[in-house]
Amino acid sequence: MPELSGNPSSRAIESVYKENKRFVVIGLTGRTGSGCSTSAEILCGASIELPENAYAGITKNELRKHRIIKKFIGNRWQPFKCLQVRTVITRYILTLNFPEFCRFISDVIDREIPVVSETMKEIKEEYDKFHIEISKYLNSPETTLKEIEEKQDFAFALYFNRLPIFSNKIRDTLKKLSLDAYTKIYQRAGDNIRASGHANSSKFDDSKVFHFPRTINKIIKAAHHTARKNNESCFIVIDAIRNPYEAIFFKERYAGFYLVSINTENENRLTHLRSTHKFSESQIKELDEKEYPNKLIGYNKFISQNIQKCIEISDIHVHNPRKEQFNNVELKCQLAWYVSLIQHPGLVMPTSLESCMQIAYTVKQSSGCISRQVGAAVTDEEYSVKSVGWNNTPQGQVPCLLRNAEDLLLGQDTYAYSEYERNDSKFRETLHGKFNDLRKSNLLNGRNLSFCFKDLQNEIDGEKNQVHTRSLHAEENAFLQIAKHGGMKLRNGILFTTASPCELCSKKAYQLGISKIIYIDPYPGIATKHTLLVGSQSPELQLYRGAVGRAYHQLYQPIMPYKDELETLLSIPGNANKKAARTKILEKENTELREELERLKNQLAELQA
pLDDT (tens digit per residue) in 236-265: 999 989 999 999 999 999 989 999 999 988
CA distance 594 to 600: 10
Query: Would you place residue 487 in the very low, low, confident or very high pLDDT band (cuts 50, 70, 90)?
Result: confident
Evaluate whether 75 touches 1 at the Cβ level (below 8 Å): yes
Classified as helix, coil or strand, 96 is coil
362-392+471-556 CATH, one of 3.40.140.10, 3.40.50.1820, 1.10.150.120, 3.50.50.60: 3.40.140.10
Query: Would you place residue 1 in the very low, low, confident or very high pLDDT band (cuts 50, 70, 90)?
Result: very low
358, 360, 362, 363: CA torsion to nearest 10: 160
Instruction: Write phi, then psi, for 377 (nearest 5 degrees).
Output: -140, 140
Evaluate whether 101 touches 120 at the Cβ level (below 8 Å): yes
Task: Name, of 8-22, 80-94, 493-507, the range with top average pLDDT.
Answer: 80-94
Contacts from 128-134 at CB under 8 Å and sequence distance 24+? Answer: 128/97, 128/98, 130/94, 130/166, 131/94, 131/95, 131/96, 131/97, 131/98, 134/91, 134/94, 134/95, 134/158
- Proportion of the chain above pLDDT 90, given as a percent: 66
CA distance 162 to 156: 9
CA distance 407 to 92: 48
CA distance 609 to 604: 9
Please report, as a single letter, which amino acid is at residue 180.
D
CA distance 416 to 451: 13
Q: What is the pLDDT of residues 513-551, one digit of tens each?
A: 999 999 997 655 555 665 666 667 788 888 899 999 999
How many C-beta atoms lie closer than 10 Å to residue 208's C-beta? 19
Q: Do domains 21-81+212-348 and 362-392+471-556 have the same CATH topology?
A: no
Q: What is the pLDDT of residues 22-63, one digit of tens each?
A: 899 999 999 988 999 999 999 999 999 999 998 888 889 999
Domain boundaries, the chain: 21-81+212-348, 85-204, 362-392+471-556, 400-468, 579-608
Instruction: Write phi, then psi, for 499 (nearest 5 degrees).
Output: -140, 135
The set of residues, in sequence order, having a beta carbon less than 8 Å from that of 237 and lying 6+ positions away, is: 25, 26, 27, 28, 39, 40, 43, 44, 80, 81, 82, 83
pLDDT value of position 154: 95
Classified as helix, coil or strand, 238 is strand
Higher pLDDT, 51 or 1: 51
Strand ranges in 458-588 using DSSP code E only, listed in sequence order: 494-499, 516-521, 540-543, 546-547
User: Radius of gyration (Cα) for the chain, nearest Å?
Assistant: 31
Query: Does pLDDT of 4 surpass 80?
Result: no
Q: Please state at what angle helix 124-139 crosses helix 145-157, rounded to 10 degrees.
A: 160
CA distance 377 to 358: 9
pTM of this structure: 0.88
Q: How far is CA 128 from the centre of its chain?
A: 38
Strand ranges in 94-181 using DSSP code E only, listed in sequence order: none
Query: Does pLDDT of 576 surpass 60?
Result: no
Higher pLDDT, 358 or 500: 358
Beta-strand relationship, 516-521 and 540-543? parallel
21-81+212-348 CATH, one of 3.40.50, 1.10.3210, 2.60.40, 1.10.260: 3.40.50
The set of residues, in sequence order, having a beta carbon less than 8 Å from that of 435 and lying 6+ positions away, is: 405, 406, 409, 449, 451
